Amino acid sequence: MRRYLALTKCAFLTGMVWRAHFIFTLISNLAYIVILYFLWKSIYGVSQTLNGMTFNQVFVYMTVTSSIFVLFKTWLEWQVSRDIISGAITTQLTKPLDHQLMVLSHAFGRTLNNALVITLPALAVLFGIFRASIPVGWNVLFFCLSLPLACLLSLVIDYIIGLTSFYTESLWGISTTKEIIVLVLSGGLVPLGFFPEVMRNILSYLPFQAIYHTPASILTDASLSLADYTSMLGVQAAWVIVLLVISRLFFSQAVKAVTINGG
């Protein structure tokens, strides 16, 4: 475990070098929050609630999901793809390290970068400048438990997508499709409460809602009980386990198709 923590630390320190990237990402995220504010302010107009959500709930929900999106953006699938296409994967496979844990450790380091330099300042703007509010109670604790599970779930999905490069040697189309599917079906673009009931029922059987919708709902929905929090965390944990198993099985098969194009 110490070796993987060292990889996380290394990725974190390396990421701190790219200051310009963090600055421009932070600026774009803050601009997106401003756009969200005026967009949803216009949508609500004089209405107090829409689909059972107040403007404050929706604004906080959408700001949290956008901040989580930036937080989880580690380009993990592209790293895996580059290693496969360049042939670096062969060197990695000879090391006394588990490939998946090694990649996830790097990604966790980048996630810490994003949290400190991008996500936390964005949330400070949300509560400091826009004066948004959230219910404070058990929801904060369960949000802190839900966020790491959502992060792991997102990274495992990215890892699976990256492994498709064993077969396709190209990731652009697959990665773009994944981004759209996850953002739309997870509540990252529009709260799932605004979806038709039939679609919400279908999405409840898919893992995507556990990435953005679950942590955002835990933080903003004051009507949830301890049983609801426990159930939502249980669903997240179950999906993490399922996708981890799938990713391990997929890797064991995909690695047999490795071809070296690098020189």
User: So where are the chain's domains?
Assistant: 2-257
Using a pLDDT cut of 70, give the percent of the chain over it.
97
Give Cα separations from 188 to 36, 122, 129, 224 (angstroms): 12, 16, 22, 20
Across-strand partners of 54?
A: 49
pTM of the model: 0.90
What are the helix (H) ranges across 1-75? 2-15, 19-44, 55-72
User: 225 by DSSP, 3-state: which?
Assistant: coil
| Bigger pLDDT: 117 vs 215 | 215
Nearest residue to 191 (alpha-carbon basis) of 44, 51, 69: 51
pLDDT at 146 over 90: yes
pLDDT at 16 over 80: no
Contact between residue 154 and residue 72 where contact means Cβ atoms under 8 Å apart: yes
